[in-house]
């Protein structure tokens, strides 16, 4: 039998709430009950008191019902410091929610229904991408497509034709002047003149370009420079690192099919701190193409990049099959960006990567892994990682995630810093949650509204928004004055479970009763206590255990009305049995009240 406090109760057994939370990868016959539970649902470490488990908080409604289902969302911090959220609707439009107005406003429409929409923050803007539509930026007021004027140094023989046309000799095979493209022409006697291409005609090796209106000089003048406006391709992923934007090739990321002909191409902005600078230009040797590197020949296998991260100053390119670590700041310089290491583990989805303190956590085909452990393990030995204790559950969820395109689009992950919660949604059966704080760390699961939520938006003011259907909710942990603290999902009960591993000792155990150890727990909750013996999980004895509060202690207040109270009474349940090998308990309850803090169990017997 596991005795976490030997000698505390002479002749009895004592089991504390597990310090490392749940472990579903080991047999419950070999788990240490003081270290692990075999399963936890909606229970997290108690931040207020170390050593006990607490029922998670519930959710309270935030804002009105939206006109459409909200399927993803992001925070935007305005220049005045206030927060708004931008949400993606099921109608493929973007909606802005303003807390002051308490209303949703449609702000952009027409996005593809196939792309995986994502964002990154750069220069105080939200940069949006989805692999199919033009990349665009949001500055708190307007949405603007990314793009820039490119000086056409590859062309030659600039010639004025008329006040509405000019000609040039383009570089071989290039067509940089399609209809409706903007151009800028610098004549000797004027500032650059902007115009829009109406038509073009290539005769022999000379291209004549006509523009709308008559913006050019009325008589022949020397043309000093011609620029055309161009946009980068619709990237499938964009991130911010080292004062630059980094991006992956266009197309839709799908569970089983690669998205296009350049799955290992990495584009970047050659000029730092400029979200519109994507083209290699400005010198006679410039290509006038989007600046990129292609690491296909570094892979030695058919791989596809899904996401980009940053680890200790190094750039990390996550493929489906491998992870590629590169060092440097400027890929445009010779020797300024070099490969460092390739890891034989990949990423299953671009939205299943979360930065951790001095680390990055990714969902791989084998389960959740951290980059630090994978990068430091060079030998053939298998090294335990933070996801190793729940590999089995992740394996089932990853299999469901990769089943089809619809399932693949549901993947989400988030980090809620205030409570140290890393959440990973791979299906609708439950949210996998890793808790990291100074009290305890390990895995649990969230069911209820967390399980079938569409997206999660951690806000910079320590609040967590959960978008579910047409309604947004706030995690009711007291960080929002209107929602406060609650232990129900919008008045719906939260189902909690704590399943202990098998408890055993060398001699036969004769049990008489069991005490449930509680701390600061709301009364009027009924705990269902299931007991199994000798590894026969099909033989379950269930007891209903009501939780009641204790009466007031003697003080100067009126009897039973004082603030100084004795707290929750630990219920003792008669449970007589003989266990030749082992026994275990499973606690479950459903409640809309709280808090509920579980310290442990004390079997009474010998």
Q: Between 549 and 444, whose confidence is greater?
A: 444
Looking at residues 236-244, what average pLDDT do you find?
Answer: 96
Distance set, CA 68 to CA 104, 250, 322, 469 (Å): 10, 28, 38, 8
* Alpha carbon distance 606, 600 (integer Å): 18
Residue in 533, 385, 392 with CA at minimum distance from that of residue 27? 392
Distance set, CA 239 to CA 253, 311, 315, 564 (Å): 16, 13, 11, 54
- Could you count the other beta carbons within 10 Å of the beta carbon of residue 482? 9
Q: Between 59 and 47, whose confidence is greater?
A: 59
540-578, pLDDT tens digit by residue? 999 999 998 755 444 444 444 444 445 678 999 999 999
377 pLDDT above the threshold of 50: yes
pLDDT value of residue 54? 94
313-330, pLDDT tens digit by residue? 899 999 999 999 999 988
Lowest mean pLDDT among 3-7, 272-276, 337-341, 565-569: 3-7
* Alpha carbon distance 108, 142 (integer Å): 9
Give backbone dihedrals phi and psi of 302, rounded to 5 degrees, phi first: -80, 100
- Tell me if 595 sits within 8 A of 520, measured CB to CB: yes
600 pLDDT above the threshold of 60: yes
137-186, pLDDT tens digit by residue? 999 999 999 999 999 999 999 999 999 999 999 998 899 999 999 999 99
pLDDT value of residue 32? 87
Helix and strand counts by DSSP (H, E) for the chain: 4, 45
Looking at every residue in the chain, the average pLDDT score rounds to 91
- pLDDT cut 90: percent of the chain above it: 77
DSSP 334-398: TTSEEEEEEES---S-TTSEEEETTEEEEEETTEEEEHHHHHH--SSS----TTGGGHHHHHHHH
pLDDT value of residue 550? 56
pLDDT value of residue 507? 80
pTM for this structure? 0.91
Give the helix ranges, DSSP H, for 270-348.
296-299
- Tell me if 116 sits within 8 A of 352, measured CB to CB: no
Burial class, 41, CB count within 10 angstroms (exposed 0-12 / middle 13-18 / buried 19+): buried
pLDDT value of residue 556? 47
Give all strands of the β-sheet with 59-62 in edge-to-edge order: 59-62, 471-475, 464-468, 455-458
Looking at residues 420-432, what average pLDDT do you find?
Answer: 95
Lowest mean pLDDT among 42-56, 143-157, 164-178, 467-481: 42-56
253-289, pLDDT tens digit by residue? 999 999 988 999 999 999 999 999 999 998 988 999 9
pLDDT value of residue 277? 96
12 pLDDT above the threshold of 70: no
pLDDT value of residue 553? 44
pLDDT value of residue 193? 97
Both tokens of 341, joined, read: 């290491």
């Amino acid at each position: 039998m596991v005795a976490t406090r030997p000698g505390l109760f002479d002749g009895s057994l004592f089991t504390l709430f597990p310090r490392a939370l749940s472990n579903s990868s080991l047999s419950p016959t070999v788990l240490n009950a003081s270290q692990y539970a075999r399963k936890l649902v909606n229970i997290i470490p108690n931040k207020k008191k170390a050593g006990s488990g607490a029922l998670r908080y519930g959710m309270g409604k935030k804002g009105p019902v939206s006109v459409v289902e909200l399927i993803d969302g992001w925070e935007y911090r305005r220049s005045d410091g206030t927060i708004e959220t931008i949400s993606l609707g099921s109608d493929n439009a973007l909606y802005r929610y303003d807390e002051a107005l308490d209303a949703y406003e449609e702000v952009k429409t027409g996005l593809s229904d196939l792309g995986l929409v994502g964002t990154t923050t750069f220069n105080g803007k939200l940069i949006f991408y989805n692999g199919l539509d033009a990349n665009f930026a949001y500055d708190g007021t307007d949405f603007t497509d990314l793009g820039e004027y490119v000086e056409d140094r590859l062309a030659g023989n600039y010639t004025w034709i008329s006040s509405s046309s000019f000609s040039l000799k383009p570089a071989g095979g290039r067509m940089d002047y399609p209809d409706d493209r903007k151009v800028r022409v610098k004549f000797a006697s004027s500032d650059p003149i902007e115009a829009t291409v109406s038509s073009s005609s290539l005769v022999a090796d000379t291209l004549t370009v006509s523009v709308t209106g008559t913006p050019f000089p009325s008589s022949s003048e020397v043309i000093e420079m011609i620029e055309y406006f161009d946009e980068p391709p619709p990237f499938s992923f964009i991130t911010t690192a080292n004062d630059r934007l980094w991006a992956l090739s266009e197309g839709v990321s799908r569970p089983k099919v690669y998205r296009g002909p350049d799955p290992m191409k990495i584009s970047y902005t050659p000029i730092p701190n400029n979200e519109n600078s994507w083209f290699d230009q400005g010198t006679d040797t410039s290509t006038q193409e989007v600046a990129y590197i292609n690491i296909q020949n570094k892979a030695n296998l058919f791989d596809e990049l899904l996401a980009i991260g940053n680890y200790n100053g190094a750039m990390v390119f996550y493929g489906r099959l491998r992870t590629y670590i590169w060092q440097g700041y400027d890929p445009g310089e010779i020797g300024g960006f070099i490969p460092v290491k390739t890891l034989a583990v990949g990423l299953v989805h671009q939205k299943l990567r979360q930065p951790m303190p001095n680390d990055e956590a990714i969902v791989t085909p084998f389960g959740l892994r951290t980059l630090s452990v994978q990068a430091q393990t060079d030998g053939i030995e298998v090294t335990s990682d933070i996801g190793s204790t729940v590999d089995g559950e992740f394996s089932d969820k990853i299999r469901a995630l990769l089943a089809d395109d619809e399932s693949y689009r549901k993947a989400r992950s988030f980090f809620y810093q205030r409570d140290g919660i890393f959440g990973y949604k791979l299906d609708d059966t439950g949210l996998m949650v890793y808790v990291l704080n100074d009290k305890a760390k390990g895995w649990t699961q969230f069911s209820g509204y967390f399980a079938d939520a569409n997206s999660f938006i951690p806000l910079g003011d320590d609040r967590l928004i959960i978008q579910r259907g047409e309604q947004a909710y706030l995690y009711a942990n007291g960080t929002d004055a209107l929602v406060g603290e609650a232990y129900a999902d919008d008045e719906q009960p939260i189902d909690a479970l704590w399943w202990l591993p098998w408890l055993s000792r060398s001699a036969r155990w004769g049990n008489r009763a069991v005490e449930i150890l509680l701390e600061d727990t709301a009364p009027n909750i009924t705990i269902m206590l299931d007991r199994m013996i000798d590894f026969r999980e099909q033989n379950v004895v269930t007891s209903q255990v009501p939780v009641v509060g204790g009466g007031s202690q003697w003080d100067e207040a009126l009897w039973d009305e004082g603030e100084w109270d004795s707290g929750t009474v630990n219920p003792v349940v008669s449970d007589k049995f003989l266990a030749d090998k082992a026994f275990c308990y499973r606690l479950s309850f459903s409640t809309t009240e709280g808090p509920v803090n579980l310290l442990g169990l004390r079997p009474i017997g010998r």
